[in-house]
């Protein structure tokens, strides 16, 4: 039985439950009001083995629940924006890709966020200045769909576009699975290692990273589900459930999610998209960006 989590923070917690000190893994934590930022750095191969994660930086931003209040939390937005900006190059075109399946609500975060990111690559320069938008950073946006609908690996589609538009970096947005119900709807993970095979609610099959795309890849994810088998294992203190239900093929697709998952996805998409917009267009204020990208 594999405990399913896409959060490096939870993998580190698991190690610590077992009193193993993960070598080659460093972390620091900052609390600002209701927002907590935890940065985990996997420094070397020992750290990779310990955490089961590629070398790189994994930032978890814990924020007030997205669904508590309709307004975008300014502190949450500021923190996500800052951590994202810190992992991106300061200049050059950025390609933002929203991964996931619009027909599966808990997997729709990526395409929903992509729909709210301001695409500027076609209007940067003269046009934007003429429209009073100042100097816009060139941004391209894709929602490439999922393998079952396209017949093409997401990594392949992105590689094709990267070759064409030669961005300085790629940002991929994806819905994640966490181990803890308490993390649903109040957590954003940002990493400079991209997407590993098997990650995301949709279990993307191929790695999407600097290794496969040839440019820096920053991933942003929000946990939207807990795998039902993982919940059962945790409840049973590390045993598999006797009930065959959760382990048979039909049970395997069972997820735990808040009843208001539709609202959670909308709010999370808004936060992630707006953080991307603010990080990439520092010359525009938050309100202008919201009005330009309203869904």
Select from 20, 103, 129, 166 the one that contacts a second copy (CB under 8 A).
103
Where in 174-233 is the site for a second copy (CB under 8 A)? 180-182, 201, 225, 228, 231-232
Tell me if 131 contacts a second copy by CB under 8 A. Answer: no
CA distance 52 to 55: 10
> Which among 86, 219, 109 has a CA at the least distance from the CA of 158?
219
Segment near a second copy (CB under 8 A); pick from 30-38, 84-92, 115-123, 207-215: 115-123
Q: Does 294 bind a second copy (CB under 8 A)?
A: yes
Question: Which residue in the set 29, 163, 211, 285 belongs to the binding site for a second copy (CB under 8 A)?
Answer: 163
In angstroms, the CA 45 to CA 25 distance is 10
User: At closest approach, how far in Å is the CB of 145 from a second copy?
Assistant: 7
CB 140 within 8 A of CB 165: yes
Based on the shown chain and the rule CB under 8 A, indicate whether residue 156 belongs to the binding site for a second copy: yes
Q: Counting contacts by CB under 8 A, is residue 286 touching a second copy?
A: no
* The only residue of 14, 85, 159, 215 in contact with a second copy, by rule CB under 8 A: 159
Supply angle C-alpha 4, 6, 280, rounded to 5.
165
Task: Please select the residue that binds a second copy; options are 18, 19, 71, 130, rule is CB under 8 A.
Answer: 71
2 scored as a contact of a second copy (CB under 8 A): no
Task: Indicate whether 48 belongs to the interface with a second copy (CB under 8 A).
Answer: no
Q: How many CA atoms lie within 13 A of 226 on its CB side?
A: 21
Q: How far is the CB of 242 from a second copy (least distance, A)?
A: 9
Q: How far apart, in whole angstroms, are the C-alpha atoms of residue 208 and residue 196?
A: 7
Q: Does 120 bind a second copy (CB under 8 A)?
A: yes
Is 291 near a second copy (CB under 8 A)?
Answer: yes
The interface region with a second copy, picked from 15-23, 56-64, 240-248, 274-282 by CB under 8 A, is 240-248
Taking CA atoms, 185 is separated from 42, 175, 225, 245, 291, in Å, by: 26, 11, 9, 27, 24
Cα–Cα distance, 123 to 181 (Å, whole number): 42
Q: Which residues pair with 56 in a beta bridge?
A: 42
Element of type H or E holding 174 = strand 169-178
C-alpha 239/C-alpha 244 separation (Å) is 13
Total residues in contact with a second copy, by rule CB under 8 A: 73
Query: From CA 123, how far away is CA 137, in angstroms rounded?
Result: 10
Comparison of 45 and 69: residue with beta carbon closer to a second copy: 69
Tokens standing for residue 17: 């439950």
Q: How far is the CB of 105 from a second copy (least distance, A)?
A: 5
Interface with a second copy, residue 44, by CB under 8 A = no
Q: Which of 34, 125, 150, 211 binds a second copy (CB under 8 A)?
A: 150
């Amino acid at each position: 039985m594999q405990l399913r989590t896409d959060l490096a923070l939870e993998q580190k917690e698991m190690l610590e439950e077992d009193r193993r000190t993960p070598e080659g893994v460093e972390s620091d934590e900052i609390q600002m009001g209701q927002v907590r930022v935890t940065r985990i750095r996997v420094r070397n191969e020992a750290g990779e083995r310990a955490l089961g994660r590629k070398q790189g930086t994994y930032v978890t931003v814990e924020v007030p629940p997205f669904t508590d209040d309709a307004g975008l939390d300014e502190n949450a937005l500021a923190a996500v924006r800052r951590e994202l900006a810190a992992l991106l190059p300061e200049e050059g075109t950025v390609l933002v890709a929203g991964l996931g399946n619009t027909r599966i609500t808990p997997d729709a975060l990526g395409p929903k966020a992509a729909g709210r990111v301001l695409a500027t690559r076609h209007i940067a320069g003269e046009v934007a200045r003429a429209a009073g938008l100042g100097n816009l950073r060139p941004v391209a946006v894709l929602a490439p769909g999922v393998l079952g609908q396209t017949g093409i690996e997401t990594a392949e589609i992105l590689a094709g576009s990267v070759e064409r538009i030669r961005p300085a970096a790629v940002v991929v947005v994806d819905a994640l699975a966490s181990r803890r119900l308490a993390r649903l709807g109040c957590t954003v993970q940002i990493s400079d290692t991209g997407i590993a095979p098997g990650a995301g609610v949709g279990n993307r099959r191929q790695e999407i990273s600097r290794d496969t795309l040839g440019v820096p890849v920053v991933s942003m994810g929000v946990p939207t589900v807990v795998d039902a088998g993982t919940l059962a294992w945790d409840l049973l203190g590390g045993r598999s459930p006797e009930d065959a239900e959760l382990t048979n093929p039909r049970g395997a697709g069972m997820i735990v999610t808040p009843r208001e998952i539709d609202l959670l996805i909308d709010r999370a998409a808004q936060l992630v998209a707006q953080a991307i917009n603010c990080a990439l267009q520092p010359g525009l204020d938050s309100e202008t960006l919201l009005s330009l990208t309203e869904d």
